[in-house]
Amino acid sequence: MELKKQKSKQMHQRYDVLIAIGMLSAAISILLHKPILFAGIGLLVTYIVLVLLYEKYYGNYLYLEIEKDKLFLFPEDDDIIAITFYNKGKFTLKNGYFFFTIDEEVQVEDGKYQLDERGLTHKVPLTLPANSKITLHLSIKGNKRGITQLANMRYVFFNPFSFTTITLQAQGYWRQEIVVFPNQTPITRMDRLFTNQTGNIALPFALMHDEMDIAGTREHHFSDAMQHIHWKTSAKNQQLHTKVFEHNTDMRWTVLVNASTSSKLNNLYLSKQIDTYLSIISSISMQAIRQDIQIGVWFNLGKPVQLKTNHGTGQHHLKRLLHLFASIDHSYSIVQMNTILHQINQQIDEHHVILYIGELNQIVRHYLSTWEVRNKKEIYVLSNEDNHFVLRNHAEVSSNE
């Protein structure tokens, strides 16, 4: 990325004034027959030429390069940003400063900064010898969840002839970004999710079975449940037959997040608890991936496409989830929760275990109860009890209210 000089209108106006003064002085000296005034005019012209030559030739052919396109951090994690400067010019740039802005998601260690119209601007002293390659190492620490990047990068050095500064501004757009993932918030009673549950991978010796995946039928035994009788086959053979299900143990979790809160006028806003929710979901996701459990997350947010991820597992899927959690901010629009609930209801067979996080209202309770009773789904609701987050079965929560 090249750094080019910014043209200063004020400086050019100043030079125009000096040239005008010189021309006026020359005219006066001719009219008044005062040749001594030409000495002052010569000094003025010499000064202007030196200033223009310095500005023209100093600071050319300066480039910078950032080693990594992406950095991933958790809050309180440390890392290094390596910025390499290539001064391919013939002059040394002494006693200059490298300026850049960065948001509060990260903290630059041992750096001087100020708040101006550009944002939080950092200032690093830097001298660049002629025909040199200098690498600047910035120590950063994750501060809070979010995505940021180095912006408004520029190198500023002093012009000794005009007693002003020359600014070299970075050109183009640098695709580098710093991602700070959410913290993990511990959740009580998470262990209940790791028991053998209905899943979607058939295993011959699994303890559990999927009632939506029928492998065949057999003769009915006295100990068989009545709801497992295959009535069509029984009528055809004039003898009771019981459904045989595929055995499986693979679990599939769907985390359903109500990221909104409603006002007294029923207007929807991004919840003030969104950072807490994301820390909880981050913890759930990491535990699911450790157990090789497929997990997908649905938000009632859009930008403008609804924010959700398909079920998946593995480190790549986890990184994608954490990156998504880091990106959520107030720029996302709120989607009505009943729209999301209806979408899930249309494909409820794909969701084995549902974890609900956020405000509960009458519509949400209706859907959760229906999935739990009619569709035989495992439904869990996050509960805040004395500042401890507990995962409770929905039926247990409903019976206590």
Q: What is the pLDDT of residue 206?
A: 41
Is residue 304 reached through a cis peptide bond, with omega within 30 degrees of 0 on the bond before it? Answer: yes
Nearest by Cα to 344 from 373, 377, 321: 377
**pLDDT mean across residues, the chain:** 79
**Amino acid at residue number 96:** G
Cα four-point dihedral sign 37, 39, 44, 48: positive
CA distance 42 to 26: 10
pLDDT at 181: 94
Q: pLDDT band at residue 356, thresholds of 50, 70 and 90?
A: very high
Tell whether the torsion through CA atoms of 117, 122, 127 and 128 is positive or negative: negative
Which residue's structure tokens are 């249309």?
A: 346
| 187: pLDDT strictly greater than 60 | yes
- For residues 349 and 346, give the distance between their C-alpha atoms in angstroms, rounded to a whole number: 9
Rounded mean pLDDT of 110-139? 80
What CA–CA distance (Å, rounded) separates 128 from 106? 27
Which uninterrupted H or E stretch holds 370? helix 362-373
What whole-number distance in Å separates Cα of residue 224 and Cα of residue 243? Answer: 10
DSSP 224: S
SS (H, E, C) 160-204: CCCCEEEEEEECCCCCCEEEECCCCCCEECHHHHHCCCCCCCECC
- Check residues 300 and 216 and name the one with the higher pLDDT: 300
Name beta bridge partners: 141.
78, 107
Strands 388-393 and 353-358: unpaired
Q: Tokens for 41?
A: 């005019």
Output phi, psi for 322, to 5 deg.
Answer: -65, -35
Q: Model confidence over 23-64: pLDDT tens digits?
A: 666 666 666 666 666 666 666 667 667 766 666 767 778 888
Written as six digits, the tokens of 94 are 């002494």
At 218-231, the pLDDT tens digits run 887 877 777 778 88
Q: How many CB atoms lie within 10 A of CB 301?
A: 21
For residue 349, the 8-state DSSP code is: G
> Would the pLDDT of 245 be above 90?
no
Q: How far is CA 264 from the centre of its chain?
A: 31
Q: 193 pLDDT band (50/70/90 cuts)? A: low
Q: How far apart are CA 49 and CA 42, in angstroms?
A: 10
% of the chain beyond a pLDDT of 70: 73
pLDDT, position 147 = 93
Taking CA 96 as the corner, what is the angle to CA 93 and CA 102, rounded to the nearest 5 degrees? 130
Exposure of 276 in the CB half-sphere (CA atoms within 13 A): 16
The pLDDT tens digits of the residues spanning 70-105 come to 899 999 999 998 989 998 888 888 888 998 888 889
DSSP letter string, 110-172? T-EEEEETTEEEEEEEEEE-TTEEEEEEEEEEE-SSEEE--EEEEEEEEETTTTEEEEEEEPS
With a cut of 70, say whether residue 182 has pLDDT above it. Answer: yes
- pLDDT value of residue 202: 42
CA 200 to chain centre: 32
Report the 10 Å Cβ neighbour count for 119: 16
